[in-house]
Amino acid sequence: MGGAHEVVDLGLSARTAADAARAVGCRVDQIVKSLVFRLRDSGRALLVATSGAHRVDEAKVAALVGETLERADADFVRAETGFAIGGVAPVGHVKPILTLVDEHLLAFDEVWAAAGHPNTVFRLTPAELVRMTAGRVVTVA
Ligand code: 5CA
């Protein structure tokens, strides 16, 4: 990610969006939750970059991608992204991953995402998030 996106070590474990918002001092809506699902038919991974304020509506997202979603377990998340749950970044995965971006994140000038570890985050603009993930902006909640 180079110098443009500095990784901030929070000095504490922020495994949830609420923890991260408190540590950063931003709104919980501005936290990017990088949620991984498994597509039931193809077995492929799907990353939904979700506002910390939102719960993914799995039926809605399934309709968008044309496949039923399953919750990914920790091993699947690790295998598909290289990260452990609680620190999954929206970028920098071990292999390409189909990505959707919650349109609510585009309401903010800046958002914060995990940087690969529960203690770390980085700040970026929603436009950068969309570009860096090649994500499709959709209604997920
Ligand atoms: N570091 C924080 C803020 S950026 C973070 O990574 N938050 S998160 O929302 O992206 O990651 C936590 C999410 O992991 C939870 O919302 C939950 O959806 C998911 N999760 C937690 N435990 C499990 C589990 N056992 N199996 C699958 N998913 C889980």
Instruction: Quote the mean pLDDT of the chain.
Output: 96
What is the model's pTM? 0.96
136 with 100: CB under 8 angstroms?
Answer: yes
pLDDT at site 3:
55
62 with 43: CB under 8 angstroms?
Answer: no
pLDDT at site 4:
79
**Atom 26 in ligand 1: which residue has the minimum CA distance?**
73
Q: Whats the size of the chain, residue-wise?
A: 141
E strand or H helix that includes residue 34: strand 31-39
**Atom 6 in ligand 1: which residue has the minimum CA distance?**
86
Atom of ligand 1 nearest to the CA of 17: 3
Residue 2 pLDDT grade (very low, low, confident, very high; cuts 50, 70, 90):
very low
83-133 pLDDT tens trace: 999 999 999 999 999 999 999 999 999 999 999 999 999 999 999 999 999
Q: Is the pLDDT of residue 1 over 50?
A: no
Does the C-beta of 87 come closer than 6 Å to ligand 1?
yes
Distance 63 CA to ligand 1 centre (A): 23
CA–CA separation, 39 and 68 (whole Å): 6
CA–CA separation, 103 and 64 (whole Å): 14
Spell out the domains of the chain, with CATH numbers in brackets.
7-138 (3.90.960.10)
Does the C-beta of 15 come closer than 6 Å to ligand 1?
yes
pLDDT at site 99:
98
Place of tokens 């001092």: 25
Give me the amino acid identity at 49: A
